[in-house]
Structure 1
Amino acid sequence: MPNNESDVCNDNDNNNSDIQESDLVTNNEISDLKYILSEKKDIKWRHRPISILDSYSEWEQHIEDQELLSPSTYFSKYIPDDLFCTMADMTNIYALQSGEISNFKQTTPAELKTLFGLHIIMGTLKFPRVRMFWDTTLKMQLFLDSMSRDRFFQVRTNLHLVNNMDIPADNKDRFYKVWPIYTALRNRCLELPAEEELAVDEAMIPFTGRLSVKQYVKGKPTPWGIKMYMLCGKSGQAYDFILYQGASTEFQESLLKAFGQGPTVVLQLAQRIKQEMGHKIYSDNFFSSYKLFQALKQENICAAGTVRVNRFANPPLMPDKEALKKERGFSEEICSTDDITLVKWVDNKTVVLGSNFIGKGETDKVECWDKKQNKYVTINRPEIVKLYNHGMGGVDLFDQLMSYYRIFIKSKKWTLRAIFHAVDFAVVQSWLEYRTSAREIGLPTKKIMDLLHFRIRLADVLVLSGKDIPNKKRGRPSATPPDTPVQRLRGETRPPEEIQYDGAQHWPLHENGALPTRCKFPECKGRSRVKCEKCNVRLCLSKEKNCFRSFHLN
């Protein structure tokens, strides 16, 4: 069904965390705010359309010089190398503090990259048990060669981002232990140029263990976990977020007192676009309020969303019982003297939307399903509903992309779940950046990596780039004679450039019994029995020519 209007009727009530606007707050009490807000008693409603103001600026797209980078380069913008160095130091310190230093070999940033890369592959393959990735019958050679199973669990168990001894005695910040990685993520999100249509909504870090700040959000695919408020574009790209931890969440006290929790979230997330004009922000009824629309209007930011009528000073809208007697597609609009408008629209049930820039506007026709007639019917749709349905789904799209290949973590440690959620976050953000750049430079759609191949390529580089060649199989030597011909594998592929040019441990290996195959150096048409042990490709290496050296020089 095109443009399904029922989307606007499915907002969660979020009764567990709703904070109503305080009727006791006056302009004098919020003198430190620059907003001019109306009291409920001063709000006057009229049955008239909203005045379209000329003061709203047109949105201008900021297009930077796009350059298509490698997946690992995009990823390093969210989780930089210096953060891996910090993680290695803190992990070694924690192993010492926990008394495991006797049997714990100190980890390195390269090993932690391998750990992260293996986790990314786990999210892609989704075996029912983590230990199955080291099962020799499955022949997951990347796992067998990169890190032993016991070492994997040992490093992951001790993984830390901060020194526990540095945590203040009076610390009330529940997320102190994971802030380094989320700070790095947020810093990169704030650098991205924002889209025109933005949405504010809730997202979840799945976790069902014991945690004081764990939340339940009805209607979410993963209702239990750590709640995040996110600002996302229509494409799913995240531009800012707030980790919610109850009373200790870093909300601005003046905003919280004047507006309540939901509107405060929108105002704080909107601060990163105040220097840019023409953006439109959409939110559901948990966030929307009359004062929020007023404040955003004074910031020259367009806003719209579903609303709860009791936050809007008893607007003279038609009662639901009377509205439902009207034909489907009926709408009613009222507007205040501050040019804040409410539109009541009748679909399968009634829904009320508010805005500071658009009302019924230019109504259009749309098809929707009628259960009684068992067919599609054409009804009228106000413009505010059209814009809301078009721009509201950014956070849900981001959640959807995260859920496809989420890293599997079955642990009682909430910190592990939060850390590897941040890794998934960085991967999705990196892929969205990559896809945008690829489209801007005109790369054909067939050559743009989808999220699955992007994750595999990234994981391969994290595990192998800059590393030594893994030791060969342990145990008894093979009974196969050394001169037994080696069967040539079909579909021999070139390694990623990050591995090809990393300059680490590329050794030639001569396969005596193998058939010579085509040299993979682009300028050579010869055949060779010599392959790079790390890249696993055949290359010429003789007195006449040295394709092996040329292949690995950037």
Structure 2
Amino acid sequence: SDRHSSSETTAKPIKTGRFQNDDKAYVYEAPECRGAELRPSVNIAVTYMSHRAFSLKIRMKNCPLEYFRKFITPEMLELLKEQTNLYSVQKSANHNNVNTMVKELEIMIGLYLRMGLCHLAGNRAYWENDTRCPMVADNMSRNCFQNLLATLHFTDNTDIKQGQAEDKCWKIRPWLDMFRKQCLDITPEEHNSIDEQMMPFRGTRSPIRQYVKGKPHPWGLKIWSRCSSSGILCDFAIYEVGTGKKSLLGMGGDVTETTNYFPTIFFLQHHWCSTFFNERSTMWELCLAGCQLEDDKSLAKRGRGSVDARVEKEERMVIVKWYDNKSVTLISSYCAVEPQDNAQRWSKADKAFVEVRRPHIVKEYNTFMGGLDLLDACIVRCKYHIRSRRWYIYLFWHTIMLGLVNAWLIYRCDCKQLGVQNTLKPLASFFARGFVLEFQMMFTLLSKRVRVGVPDDVRTDQVAHWPVKCDKRGRCKLCKINATTTLCEKCDVRLYFTEE
């Protein structure tokens, strides 16, 4: 029969044990594909984020450092402190303990973020005379920094539980689980995207290193990530190579199922998955359950912009196949072909841009699929590469950068919602200054020509703000009128004393 016929066709689904309605026959039809007519028949109560990620009471008077501490929590740093001290005793022949503290680890993280703003050839260059960085060298000695890097640890090597060794990331799993829990506390936005993220790594010691052709960094560790359309990371899963389990849905299908993104295909709600949608065998044999769409040759004869669609009658799931340079198949529960628009696409034959008809579902996909790309772009801006023989240390620094970018993006969303003017400084400068200033006496960040205000959480912490006398008189930081020789030793600002 003609594909535009209104007659119903019954297709028997393939039984895989993956769907809840395993014995049900799905009925497809060729509809008018009006976007307003398509609604999911299964109503799922979902609360979406409206630029407020945490239910905790974070007010704009707080420094962005408080946002960062919602991802890298004191409990995580306490775990890092205990395991680092334990590992230093186990590693040393003389059983020497580095005896680090949480505050010292926070300073180390702050120095790492500062290194990302000022890249040098190696770690030791920040302490050398020719290339010395005052903010780094004045707040921690080189030997202390190197010792912490060499002894960072996350779990006890002598207490391996049953089945723990099967996890290829077991040495950093406690840290990853705690960080993932903080990401899951974020109330998701309405539109989310699931895509693969490559963490650059060319070492040979990692059992999960992969080569993915076509990526900007083809060698690295693959991380499946779920991001909002604004780039905020909501969930992630480290891809472990060679688990030995037989896959029925394919890699993309297994990721979406095991991470509970969509329990079945009929629970898709404003989530976009590039790999899941592009795996033709996965969708065609398992998910589409016998739905017959027009083949690529027929669509190619009709020209670029041709489209074919079907709708499952009971569940109201639309399946759209669109042909541009190649065919792409998409599934949705809330949008379809209409309303179509024109998209500017490059034509190799004409060597110019041409207008191609584009379904509404493709436009929605292109609009909300770039969350992970935005996240990666922010990470690249201020990430510093520290070499290590232990491959899982790279994952640790990667989570630090993920927490940094998440905190910054949420902070900017809050600024926009509350109407607070947002200073467009480098995103790592807030956190680097905050970690160092909170526990150190004095530092110099910028040259004399440019003075940067002290973060509010450091200025009001009531710790070590000692008044000292200086030789030169200067204007008071608050009143700007009276001159004084009294200086705050920690904030490095002049303050005038009154009778009150």
Q: Which residue of the other structure, out of 56, 59, 70, is the alignment partner of 1:67?
A: 59
**Using a 3 Å threshold, how does the CA distance of structure 1 residues 25 and 261 change in structure 2: closer, same or farther?**
farther
Secondary structure of the corresponding residue to residue 494 of structure 1: coil
1:367-391 deviation per Cα after TM superposition (whole angstroms, max 9, x unaligned) = 2233333333222111111111112
Q: Which residue of the other structure, out of 471, 482, 487, is the alignment partner of 1:526?
A: 482
Contact 2:86–2:97 (8 Å) recurs in 1: no
Question: 1:209-228 alignment to 2 at 5 Å?
Answer: 209=203, 210-228=205-223
Contact 2:304–2:325 (8 Å) recurs in 1: yes
1:255-290 deviation per Cα after TM superposition (whole angstroms, max 9, x unaligned) = x8774542232234445999xx99411112445789
Contact 1:364–1:383 (8 Å) recurs in 2: yes
Equivalent in the alignment of 1:406 = 383
1:511-537 deviation per Cα after TM superposition (whole angstroms, max 9, x unaligned) = 22x2x21111x2462111222222111
Contact 1:161–1:177 (8 Å) recurs in 2: yes
1:60 Cα offset (Å):
5.9
Equivalent in the alignment of 2:299 = 323
Equivalent in the alignment of 2:256 = 266
**Using a 3 Å threshold, how does the CA distance of structure 1 residues 492 and 435 change in structure 2: closer, same or farther?**
closer
Q: Which residue of the other structure, out of 382, 388, 394, is the alignment partner of 2:371?
A: 394
Find the aligned partners of 1:420 and 1:391 in 2 and give their Cα distance: 28
- Aligned partner letter, 1:526: N
Find the aligned partners of 2:297 and 2:248 in 1 and give their Cα distance: 34
1:412 Cα offset (Å):
2.2
Secondary structure of the corresponding residue to residue 228 of structure 1: strand
Find the aligned partners of 1:181 and 1:263 in 2 and give their Cα distance: 27
1:400 Cα offset (Å):
2.1
Equivalent in the alignment of 1:332 = 308
Equivalent in the alignment of 2:119 = 126
Equivalent in the alignment of 1:236 = 231
Secondary structure of the corresponding residue to residue 402 of structure 2: helix
Q: Establish whether residue 77 from structure 1 lines up as the match of residue 36 from structure 2.
A: no
Contact 1:232–1:240 (8 Å) recurs in 2: yes
**Using a 3 Å threshold, how does the CA distance of structure 1 residues 53 and 540 change in structure 2: closer, same or farther?**
closer
1:71 Cα offset (Å):
1.6
1:349 Cα offset (Å):
2.9
Q: Establish whether residue 517 from structure 1 lines up as the match of residue 490 from structure 2.
A: no
- The farther-off stretch of 179-188 and 429-438 is 179-188
1:66 Cα offset (Å):
6.6
Equivalent in the alignment of 1:537 = 493
**Using a 3 Å threshold, how does the CA distance of structure 1 residues 506 and 349 change in structure 2: closer, same or farther?**
same
- The farther-off stretch of 454-463 and 361-370 is 361-370
- Aligned partner letter, 1:89: E
Superposed CA RMSD: 3.4
Find the aligned partners of 1:529 and 1:401 in 2 and give their Cα distance: 42
Contact 1:198–1:233 (8 Å) recurs in 2: yes
Find the aligned partners of 1:128 and 1:409 in 2 and give their Cα distance: 10
1:418-441 deviation per Cα after TM superposition (whole angstroms, max 9, x unaligned) = 111110011011111101111110
Find the aligned partners of 2:348 and 2:194 in 1 and give their Cα distance: 32
Contact 2:262–2:268 (8 Å) recurs in 1: no
Find the aligned partners of 1:70 and 1:156 in 2 and give their Cα distance: 27
1:246 Cα offset (Å):
3.8
Equivalent in the alignment of 1:137 = 130
1:340-374 deviation per Cα after TM superposition (whole angstroms, max 9, x unaligned) = 43323222333232334433122112222333333
Q: Establish whether residue 91 from structure 1 lines up as the match of residue 84 from structure 2.
A: yes
Secondary structure of the corresponding residue to residue 462 of structure 1: helix
Q: Which residue of the other structure, out of 411, 415, 419, is the alignment partner of 1:434?
A: 411
**Using a 3 Å threshold, how does the CA distance of structure 1 residues 344 and 86 change in structure 2: closer, same or farther?**
closer
Equivalent in the alignment of 2:4 = none
Q: Which residue of the other structure, out of 430, 437, 450, is the alignment partner of 1:457?
A: 430
Q: Which residue of the other structure, out of 159, 174, 182, is the alignment partner of 2:176?
A: 182
Secondary structure of the corresponding residue to residue 195 of structure 2: strand
Question: 1:17-416 alignment to 2 at 5 Å?
Answer: 25-27=15-17, 35-37=20-22, 46-49=29-32, 52-53=38-39, 55=41, 61-63=48-50, 67-68=59-60, 69-99=62-92, 105-168=98-161, 170=163, 171-209=165-203, 210-246=205-241, 259-270=249-260, 279-286=269-276, 312=288, 315-337=291-313, 339-416=316-393
Find the aligned partners of 2:196 and 2:65 in 1 and give their Cα distance: 28
1:56 Cα offset (Å):
6.3
Contact 2:40–2:333 (8 Å) recurs in 1: no
1:454-501 deviation per Cα after TM superposition (whole angstroms, max 9, x unaligned) = 31111111122133558x9xxxxxxxxxxxxxxx94443331122223
- Aligned partner letter, 2:87: Y
Contact 1:234–1:394 (8 Å) recurs in 2: yes
- The farther-off stretch of 339-348 and 85-94 is 339-348
Secondary structure of the corresponding residue to residue 529 of structure 1: strand
Secondary structure of the corresponding residue to residue 336 of structure 2: coil
1:44 Cα offset (Å):
5.8
TM-score, L = length of structure 2: 0.83
Find the aligned partners of 2:452 and 2:31 in 1 and give their Cα distance: 66
Find the aligned partners of 2:401 and 2:129 in 1 and give their Cα distance: 28
Secondary structure of the corresponding residue to residue 397 of structure 1: helix
Contact 1:466–1:503 (8 Å) recurs in 2: no
Secondary structure of the corresponding residue to residue 411 of structure 1: coil
**Using a 3 Å threshold, how does the CA distance of structure 1 residues 289 and 347 change in structure 2: closer, same or farther?**
closer
- Aligned partner letter, 2:210: Q
**Using a 3 Å threshold, how does the CA distance of structure 1 residues 272 and 257 change in structure 2: closer, same or farther?**
closer
Equivalent in the alignment of 2:457 = 498
**Using a 3 Å threshold, how does the CA distance of structure 1 residues 354 and 367 change in structure 2: closer, same or farther?**
same
TM-score, L = length of structure 1: 0.76
1:150-195 deviation per Cα after TM superposition (whole angstroms, max 9, x unaligned) = 2211111011122222223652122222123222221221111111
- State the number of aligned residues: 471
- Aligned partner letter, 2:188: A
**Structure 2 residues not aligned, in runs of 5+:** 1-12
